Amino acid sequence: MAKTKSKFMCLECGYESPKWMGKCPGCGAWNTMTEEVVKTGTANRRVAFAHSAQGKTANKPSPITNIETSQEPRIKTNLKEFNRVLGSGIVKGSLVLIGGDPGIGKSTLLLQVSSQLADNGNDVLYISGEESVKQTKMRADRLGVKSEKLLVLAETDMEYISKAIDDTNPAFVIVDSIQTVFQSDITSAPGSVSQVRECTAELMRLAKTKGIAIFIVGHVTKEGSIAGPRILEHMVDTVLYFEGERHHTYRILRAVKNRFGSTNEMGIFEMKESGLEEVLNPSEIFLEERSKGAAGSTVVASMEGTRPVLVEIQALISPTSFGNPRRMATGIDHNRVPLLMAVLEKRVGLLLQNQDAYLKVAGGVKLDEPAIDLAVAVSIASSFKDAPSKATDIIIGEVGLTGEVRRVSRIEQRVMEAAKLGFRRAIIPEANIGGWTVPHGIEAVGVKNVAEALQITLGG
């Protein structure tokens, strides 16, 4: 008979240890070791594997030049934002992981996608481990889902889930959520490291062998990462995060890993009573409540994958009442704020060492590209001087430590998007001037350094 014993596994990297340790030797993370109960029976497993391997022919290595490939068309849904984030559509045989906070709308999004795929003639199997069939039907009625090709199953046992997939042979499978599914031969509880890893491995085998596109939902921890072992994100083909405030209507679908497309794509949705509706022009949404003529407010064109998005950057500079001034930022890297403030103090002469700085990207968007540096610097100087920049100015550029404004990529798409929304002047790096056609109705002004940019935008 198989014996049971305990071992400790790291949630981040999957490192195994016979005893608990505060720091994982594999990845160096603290307090990530969790206890797992496992069965020991390696001898029996080897015998079973030997019997199963009899009669099979091992695959032989072959030159990569002799391997034939075919370009399969991607399956598209009616949500263009969803298609873009996936890389222009769903790939057959792919395994997609969608994570997000509780109540953010993951199940609603996947049920809408399932309905659209079923309406297009595809067999879809929706497996719910958290809701009953009647509860899923109630959500489907609210969303207007009526396709007969959408099959619903409430099950958590991986053995029965595999059997249901074999019997129905669907083209798409949705598992909501992976933390509720379990393998009966593993003694640990559902949602544990072993259960999540083994169940995901089984779903990956089904996806690759049968050519089924499988979507799995993952819960998110309080730190914002997907619950379970970090190896879960390495196993799947695509990892999507569904972000946004629960009390606001806008949701952002962002790709952080994609083997079939860009990892910088972002889709914007609006949550309504009838479900999620895509926002085709997010720049208008992010700028519709902008206060014109307010000091500390600038607009920048940031690239999210292949799409330029115009967002507002707000800065508030005020004298500090503490020994050490505060530096806080929402939506951008907080380490970038003191760096740019040091450049303004050293290269421009602004006395900011006794000022508190608060920065925010309006709309809940997170920006991480260097092209927003110049807009952040102008926002800080604008708030410090209490001198607003022009409402029709858009500011783009990377700032170096010597105060120079460096070249950015895809400047033509950025300026073209600004021209569509009525901006009249674009402050861009001088190195980006020339080699492209400036759109009608907007003026492109090149700057060499931060001081020159402040002179043009703020008048000194």
104 annotated as ligand-binding = yes
DSSP output for 263-320: SS-EEEEEEETTEEEE-S-HHHHHHTT--TT-TTEEEEEEEETTEEEEEEEEEEEEE-
For the record, the structure tokens of 85 come out as: 């984030």
Contact 382, 296 (CB under 8 A): yes
Name the residue type at position 16. Answer: E
107 annotated as ligand-binding = yes
Burial class (CB in 10 A: 0-12, 13-18, 19+), 210: middle
Contact 238, 253 (CB under 8 A): no
Beta strands in 13-146 (DSSP E): 16-17, 33-40, 95-100, 124-128
Show Cβ contacts of residue 301 under 8 Å, excluding neighbours closer than 6 positions: 308, 309, 310, 371, 394, 396, 414, 415, 417, 418
305 to 79, 87, 264, 411: CA distances (angstroms):
17, 10, 4, 14
For the record, the structure tokens of 226 come out as: 């997907």
105 annotated as ligand-binding = yes
382 annotated as ligand-binding = no
Q: Say how far apart CA 407 and CA 395 lie, in whole Å.
A: 13
Which residue ranges make up the annotated binding site? 100-107
Binding residues for ATP, by number, are 100-107
